[in-house]
């Protein structure tokens, strides 16, 4: 019956999307020659409409009738290429160098610099005042959501000081939809700067971290608010707080580089993962935030294990101390079973420095490391239980690749190792000539890794997509986040079959 | 010198942490190589044929010098790409002129 109810509930949730799509733009040379733009599904099959996709040769006027809603003359905008530039040492004003960076995307369906429909119609944000955009300045205040299968955040809640605000979704500075000062519901107001907030929709639990400042202050107060109302379904934020069924808090001292980097991931089992950029590295800790068990008001009484430092390779990389836009990101798989707290490996937006976390049980987590130092791309949800992205090298006479990897959606036991499956450049080894065995026999998984929870590191190889870059035409493809992946159902190309 | 661990699929660096690195070695995902000190990890890559480390810019270069080399190489690649694109553009324009000339000839014949 429970399974049937789940099925009925998921089928009637209008937010549920089909499997992830991504956009890809490839342009050659100085971008004034040829470029193309299309939308693909997780199997790298094209899904955009012929009218939505963009083909450009020498027509200028920003791709003719399919033009971006932007005021410019050619693809060679503002004296530089739109998608051709690598991010190396440029500041935030060099927006065209940031397009491929890891900073562009997270679990929200838009990006720092553009939006893109599933039909392939996209718009870049205005380059004027870009550094005052919502994502750029206060993207770090967005709530980190743990949501049911196929659902991405469709309402935008931002938490700062002791006020939760609702904004129109997207990277804009339009008026607020609503706000609520929740101070009266707090049990401890010693620390009054909200620095990270997570929400779990299935348990209707909101967890907030307050500190004594938005810099490197260590003092923390963590509040746990459980409500009978779903925050994503209320008319006003006040409704959520008017219907609280439990409120608890604990205090602790958490060392960090900058408080804006904290990410809060509220697991289905009441354990909550807190992650942050920490110097060139990253740090993750898990606390028991279940209510009603007299767990106490100190972090020590609630922490599972100890803080875990990132175990992959690190090099010089930025965090929120160098600029708000560098804030640590959170994303999750399509089915909502695994999440990723991440930031780039290298300086300005390339490579991957991540903890991947089971969202049923945040005590189960591994390190994911990808050490690229040029030509990056954002990481996006991929397939049912995976992520991909990160690769934008020259596709002149080569196929486009991604770093794709996926998890077992049913593996939430933190006492056993974690299995990660990944792609390759050769189909013959993907479907190998030897039999794979299961967890516990690490070396026998031909295209997978068995990783120790907490300390184990996995590094994804590049996978060939067999999307081609043509011949004798230099191009560095850029991956785009898609606003809406389409309704989930059998009429959808990326439906991927029936499951219950 | 210190042991660091490199991915077997492309020689990229995986980690400098012993426990994580040894686990990857045991499962065939990484190899361990003794590496020079005080070199940022992004400059290190394994030669999988010889199991030796390759240092971007060489061990004699500082981090700043290596970064400059990377920037210079990036600029050189960009310049080549632009030249290539300009040639293609010139070719396209020439083809367009030829097409127009042919069209004019055709129109005159009519």
Q: What ranges do the domains of chain B cover?
A: 2-55, 62-110
Name the residue among B24, B63, B85 with its Cβ closest to that of A28. Answer: B85
Phi first, then psi, for residue A139 (nearest 5°) are -55, -30
pLDDT at res. A431:
83
Cα separation of A308 and A286, whole Å?
A: 9
- For chain A, the farthest-separated pair of C-alpha atoms sits apart, in whole angstroms, at 69
Overall average pLDDT of the A92-114 stretch: 83
Decide if A29 and B84 are in contact by the 8 Å CB cutoff: yes
A200 or A85: which carries more pLDDT confidence? Answer: A200
Tens-digit pLDDT profile for residues A230-247? 999 999 999 999 999 999
Pairing label, strands A365-370, A457-458: parallel
| Segment holding A301, helix H or strand E | helix A299-302
pLDDT at res. A120:
83
Name the residue among A57, A373, A474 with its Cβ closest to that of B81. Answer: A474
Average pLDDT, chain A: 86
Residue at token pair 């004296």: A79
Question: Which residue, A267, A495, A461, is CA-closest to B8?
Answer: A461
Question: DSSP characters for A75-132?
Answer: SSGGGS-SS----SS--TT-GGGTTTSGGGBSSSSSBSSEEE-TTS-EEEPPSTTGGG
Decide if B74 and A88 are in contact by the 8 Å CB cutoff: yes
Q: Which residues contact A446 (CB under 8 A, 6 or more apart)?
A: A429, A432, A434, A436
**Residue from A58, A314, A371, A418 whose CB has the most chain B CBs within 10 Å, to mutate:** A371
pLDDT at res. A471:
59
Overall average pLDDT of the A411-418 stretch: 94
Residue A53 has pLDDT above 80, yes or no: no
Cα separation of A289 and A325, whole Å?
A: 29
Cα separation of A256 and A409, whole Å?
A: 31
The 3-class secondary structure across chain B, one letter per residue, is CEEEEEECCCCEEEECCHHHHHHHHHCCCEEEEEECCCCCHHHEEEECCCCEEEECCCCCCCHHHHHHHHHHHHHHHHHHHHHHHHHHHHHHHHHHHHHHHHHHHHHHHC
Cα separation of A463 and A450, whole Å?
A: 19
Decide if B20 and A374 are in contact by the 8 Å CB cutoff: no
Residue A343 has pLDDT above 70, yes or no: yes
B52 vs chain A: nearest CA distance in angstroms? 18
ipTM: 0.89
CA A61 to chain centre: 33
A374 vs chain B: nearest CA distance in angstroms? 9
Tens-digit pLDDT profile for residues A163-219? 999 999 998 888 899 999 999 999 999 999 999 999 999 999 999 999 999 999 999
Confidence of residue A366 (pLDDT cuts 50, 70, 90): very high
Decide if A369 and B85 are in contact by the 8 Å CB cutoff: no
pLDDT, one tens digit for every residue, chain B (110 residues): 999 999 999 999 999 999 999 999 998 899 999 999 999 999 999 999 999 999 999 999 999 999 889 888 888 887 777 777 677 667 767 777 888 888 888 888 86
Q: Which residue of B has its CA nearest to A457?
A: B20
User: What global pTM score does this model have?
Assistant: 0.91
Decide if B27 and A28 are in contact by the 8 Å CB cutoff: no
- Which residues of B fall within a CB distance of 8 Å from A424? 9
| Dihedral sign computed on CA atoms, order B77, B79, B84, B85 | positive
Give the angle B33-B16-A446 at the CA atoms, nearest 5°: 75
Decide if A311 and B27 are in contact by the 8 Å CB cutoff: no
Conformational region of residue B86, where left means phi above 0, alpha means psi within -120 to 50, and beta covers everything else: alpha
Q: Which residue of B has its CA nearest to A448?
A: B29
Cα separation of A192 and A211, whole Å?
A: 6
Decide if A33 and B92 are in contact by the 8 Å CB cutoff: yes
Tens-digit pLDDT profile for residues A277-294? 999 999 999 999 999 999
Chain B residues interacting with chain A (CB cutoff of 8 angstroms): 4, 7, 9-10, 12-17, 19-21, 23-24, 26-29, 40-42, 63, 67, 70-71, 74, 78, 80-82, 84-86, 88-89, 92-93, 96
- For chain B, the farthest-separated pair of C-alpha atoms sits apart, in whole angstroms, at 82
Lowest mean pLDDT among A66-80, A312-326, A463-477: A66-80
Q: Which residues contact A410 (CB under 8 A, 6 or more apart)?
A: A337
- Which residues of B fall within a CB distance of 8 Å from A449? 24, 27, 29
pLDDT at res. A71:
41
Overall average pLDDT of the A386-413 stretch: 92
Count of positions (residues) in chain A? 500
Confidence of residue A58 (pLDDT cuts 50, 70, 90): very low
Lowest mean pLDDT among A379-383, A465-469, B40-44: A465-469
Cα separation of A40 and A47, whole Å?
A: 5
Q: How far apart, in Å, do the first and last CA atoms of chain A sit?
A: 12
pLDDT at res. A52:
67
Name the residue among B40, B80, B89 with its Cβ closest to that of A315. Answer: B40
β strands within A310-398, DSSP E: 329-332, 338-343, 352-358, 365-370, 379-382, 386-389
Pairing label, strands A193-200, A144-146: parallel
For A169-208, give one letter per residue: b (16+ CB within 10 A) or e: bbbeeeeeeebbebeeebeeeebebbbbbbbbbebbbbbb
pLDDT at res. A54:
61
Q: Are A213 and A194 in contact (CB under 8 A)?
A: no
Decide if B71 and A89 are in contact by the 8 Å CB cutoff: yes
Name the residue among A312, A450, A455 with its Cβ closest to that of B19. Answer: A455
Decide if A455 and B71 are in contact by the 8 Å CB cutoff: no
Question: Which residue, A164, A137, A166, is CA-closest to A154?
Answer: A166
Name the residue among B7, B15, B42 with its Cβ closest to that of A315. Answer: B42
Decide if B15 and A311 are in contact by the 8 Å CB cutoff: yes
Q: Which residues contact A476 (CB under 8 A, 6 or more apart)?
A: A26, A83, A84, A86, A100, A375, A392, A393, A394, A395
Question: Which residue, A313, A250, A261, A251, is CA-closest to A284?
Answer: A261
Lowest mean pLDDT among A53-57, A299-303, A407-411, A484-488: A53-57
pLDDT at res. A75:
45
Name the residue among B4, B9, B40 with its Cβ closest to that of A461. Answer: B9
B109 vs chain A: nearest CA distance in angstroms? 29
Q: Which residues contact A254 (CB under 8 A, 6 or more apart)?
A: A218, A220, A274, A276, A285, A299
Q: Which residues, listed in sequence order, are joined to residue B3 by a DSSP beta bridge? A: B34
| Segment holding A134, helix H or strand E | helix A134-138
Overall average pLDDT of the A18-41 stretch: 76
Q: Are A156 and A166 in contact (CB under 8 A)?
A: yes
Q: Are A377 and A392 in contact (CB under 8 A)?
A: yes
Q: Which residues contact A452 (CB under 8 A, 6 or more apart)?
A: A366, A417, A418, B19, B20, B23
pLDDT at res. A267:
98
Decide if B42 and A371 are in contact by the 8 Å CB cutoff: yes
Residue A3 has pLDDT above 90, yes or no: no
């Amino acid at each position: 019956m429970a399974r049937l109810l789940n099925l009925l509930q998921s089928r009637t949730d209008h937010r549920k999307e089909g499997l992830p799509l991504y956009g890809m733009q490839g342009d050659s040379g100085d971008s004034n020659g040829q470029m193309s733009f299309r939308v693909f599904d997780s199997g790298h099959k094209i899904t955009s409409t012929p009218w939505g996709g963009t083909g450009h040769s020498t027509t200028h006027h920003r791709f003719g009738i399919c033009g971006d809603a932007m005021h410019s003359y050619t693809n060679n905008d503002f004296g530089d290429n739109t998608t051709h530039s690598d991010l190396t040492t440029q500041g935030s004003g060099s927006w065209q160098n940031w397009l491929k960076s890891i900073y562009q995307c997270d679990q929200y369906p838009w990006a720092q610099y553009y939006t893109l429909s599933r039909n392939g119609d996209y718009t870049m944000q205005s380059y004027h005042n870009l550094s005052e955009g919502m994502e750029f300045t206060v993207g770090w205040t967005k709530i980190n959501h743990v949501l049911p299968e196929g659902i991405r955040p469709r309402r935008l809640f931002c938490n700062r000081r002791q006020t939760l605000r609702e904004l129109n979704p997207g990277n804009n500075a339009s008026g607020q939809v609503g706000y609520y000062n929740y101070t009266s519901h707090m049990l401890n107001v010693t620390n009054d700067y909200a620095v990270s907030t997570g929400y779990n929709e299935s348990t209707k639990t909101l967890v907030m971290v307050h500190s004594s400042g938005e810099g490197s202050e260590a003092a923390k107060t963590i509040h746990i608010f459980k409500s009978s109302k779903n925050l994503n379904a209320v008319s006003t934020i006040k409704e959520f707080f008017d219907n609280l069924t439990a409120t608890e808090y604990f205090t602790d001292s958490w060392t960090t580089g900058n408080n804006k980097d904290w990410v809060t991931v509220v697991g289905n089992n009441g354990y909550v993962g807190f992650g942050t950029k920490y110097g060139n590295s990253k740090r993750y800790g898990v606390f028991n935030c279940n209510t009603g068990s007299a767990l106490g008001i100190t972090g020590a009484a609630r922490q599972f294990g100890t803080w875990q430092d990132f175990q992959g390779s690190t090099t010089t990389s930025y965090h929120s101390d160098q600029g708000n836009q560098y804030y640590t990101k959170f994303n999750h798989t399509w089915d909502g079973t695994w999440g990723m707290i991440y930031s780039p490996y290298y300086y300005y937006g390339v490579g991957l420095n991540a903890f991947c976390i089971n969202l049923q049980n945040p005590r189960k987590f591994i390190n994911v490391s990808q050490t690229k130092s040029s030509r990056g791309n954002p990481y996006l949800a991929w397939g049912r239980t995976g992520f991909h992205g990160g690769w934008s090298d020259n596709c002149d006479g080569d196929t486009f690749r991604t770093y794709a990897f996926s998890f077992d959606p049913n593996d939430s036991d933190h006492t056993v190792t974690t299995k990660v499956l990944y792609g390759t450049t050769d189909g013959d080894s993907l479907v190998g000539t030897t039999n794979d065995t299961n967890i516990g026999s690490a070396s026998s998984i031909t295209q997978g890794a068995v990783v120790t929870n907490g300390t184990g590191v996995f590094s994804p190889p590049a996978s060939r997509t067999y999307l081609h870059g043509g011949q004798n035409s230099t191009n560095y493809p850029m991956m785009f986040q898609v606003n809406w992946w389409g309704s989930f159902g059998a009429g959808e190309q990326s439906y991927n079959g029936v499951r219950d | 010198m210190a042991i660091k661990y490199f991915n077997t699929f492309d020689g990229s660096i995986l980690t400098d942490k012993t426990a994580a690195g040894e686990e990857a070695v045991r499962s065939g995902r990484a190899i361990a190589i003794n590496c020079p000190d005080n070199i940022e990890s992004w400059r290190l890559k394994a030669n999988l044929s010889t199991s030796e480390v390759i240092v971007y810019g060489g061990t004699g270069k500082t981090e700043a010098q290596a970064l400059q080399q990377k920037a210079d190489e990036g600029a050189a690649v960009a310049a080549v790409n632009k030249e290539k694109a300009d040639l293609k553009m010139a070719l396209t324009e020439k083809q367009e002129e030829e097409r127009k000339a042919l069209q004019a000839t055709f129109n005159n014949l009519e």
